[in-house]
Structure 1
Amino acid sequence: MLRRMDSIECTRGRQDSSKIEENLDKDDFTPSNLGTKDYWDDAYQRELQTFKDIGDVGEIWFGEESMDRVLRWMEKEKIPENAAILDIGTGNGVLLVELAKSGYTNLTGIDYSAASVELARSILRAENIPNVELKEMDFLSCSGELSCFDLCIDKGTFDAISLNPANTEEGKTCYVQALRGALKEDGLFVITSCNWTKEQLLQMFSQGFGFVKELPTPCFQFGGKTGNSVTAIIFKRLH
């Protein structure tokens, strides 16, 4: 049973364009335990037990629409079914389940939480989906261990890294370096974020990546301003 998660704890809302430039170079949100490994170990241990008890896969980060959005884009762009795809911070592995059901055959998921990997493995087994590679691995310290992926997908992991109370800037820098190492030249990167605007993501991934497109996400209006609660961007790794 999939439990839809339509909203998560986001530390900042989308900003109107007049405020973006002044905020590009400062972190105007407070670090959180959502950025710590202890938090996710505890969370996935609880979800693992819940799955064992009642078969509930747990929270779907950003809701099912976030997965459908990426899958629609992949179908439209005719991403080959044998493309090497990496799910960064796989969590419960539900994205891998949906990718496999859509016909993709070369799938890898990583997470630094052992409970997450065990949960994802259990869910994939319950869905009768074989041949998905799962690794307990910290993306920030995986230099040389991941390479030659055609597509990397991040749905909330960069957000969590950005909330880590310790070494936030170092974490973001390591993330970009790890991503370059994991992708082939001209490989694609899909990121979904609720903490960063399009302009901020373009700045943070400006070294070694080119903007491809922004995927449409739900809009809201407040105080006469229009914004998005979630940003979804496609990048390409440059030579």
Structure 2
Amino acid sequence: MDAAGSIHGSEQNREECEFVPSKLGTKEYWDEAYTRELQTFKEIGDVGEIWFGEESMARVVQWLEKENIPQDASVLDIGTGNGMFLVELAKCGFTNLTGIDYSPASVELAKNIMAKEELTNIRIMEEDFLSPSPELSGFDVCIDKGTFDAISLNPENAAENREQYARAVRSVLKDDGLFIITSCNWTKDQLLSILCKGFEIQQELPTPSFQFGGRTGNSVTALVLKRKN
């Protein structure tokens, strides 16, 4: 997804930056995309796209390690896709990992990749995060790389879905649990405006910057938030 022409770091509020609805915000799009990636994996073993690239995974993993997050902390990967972020976390020693996605093809792909990597202790579940099941609760850390962006592009009820998403994150986290979100559509200020109820910022992670028209901005925003009691 592109940044919809916005320069990150600007002071636009979120009402001024509504995005044009896109097929990228629909379940049908992701079902088709992951069905293709699943077939490709079965044919040649290619795991498919790593959302935001390997750098985005490394950024979050390095922060978790720097902050000494316990390796047995319960971690939820929201919109896990092919599950490669969970693979990376497992390789770094994290042991209590769960990935969810609303696309059945994504879930099957991720499970196939876990089997190939011989990672039998990672849970992969088919879940619509906007209506999380009671089983999803009590997590120490929740991570999102692009799922909130996709929800924001849904042609139907995007604003309502964003609010529902924020409630869902709060509902699955423990008190003082951490939420790490990476977005290419929303600025720091916009994310904080949307997620202001029930969260406080801990840190903005450094991301690549660019200059355009004499202004400096970031093409990606990465924030660490803490759930308030």
**Alignment: residue pair count:** 229
Residue of structure 2 in register with 1:3 after alignment? none
Answering whether residue 183 of structure 2 is matched by residue 162 of structure 1, we say no
Q: Percent identity?
A: 63
CA-based RMSD of the aligned residues comes to 1.2
CA distance, structure 2, for counterparts of residue 166 and residue 198 of structure 1: 24
Of 198, 219, 226, the match for 2:216: 226
- Residue segments in structure 2 that go unaligned for 5+ positions in a row: none
TM-score when scaled to structure 2?
Answer: 0.97
Note the C-alpha offset of 1:14. Answer: 4.4
Runs of 4+ in 1 over 4 A off after TM superposition: none
The letter for the 1-side match of 2:57 is M
Note the C-alpha offset of 1:20. Answer: 2.0
CA distance, structure 1, for counterparts of residue 42 and residue 214 of structure 2: 47
Residue of structure 2 in register with 1:133 after alignment? 123
- Alignment map for 1:105-144 (pairs within 5 Å): 105-142=95-132, 144=134
1:82 alignment partner, SS class: coil
The 3 A distance-change label for structure 1 pair 45 and 198 is same
1:66 alignment partner, SS class: helix
Residue of structure 1 in register with 2:75 after alignment? 85
| Cα deviations by residue, 1:31-82 (Å, 9 ceiling, x for unpaired) | 1000000000000000000000111000010000000000000000001010
Note the C-alpha offset of 1:28. Answer: 3.5
TM-score when scaled to structure 1?
Answer: 0.93
The letter for the 1-side match of 2:131 is S
Of 2, 8, 11, the match for 1:10: 2
- Alignment map for 1:45-56 (pairs within 5 Å): 45-56=35-46
CA distance, structure 2, for counterparts of residue 147 and residue 156 of structure 1: 21
- Residue segments in structure 1 that go unaligned for 5+ positions in a row: 1-8
- Alignment map for 1:29-68 (pairs within 5 Å): 29-68=19-58
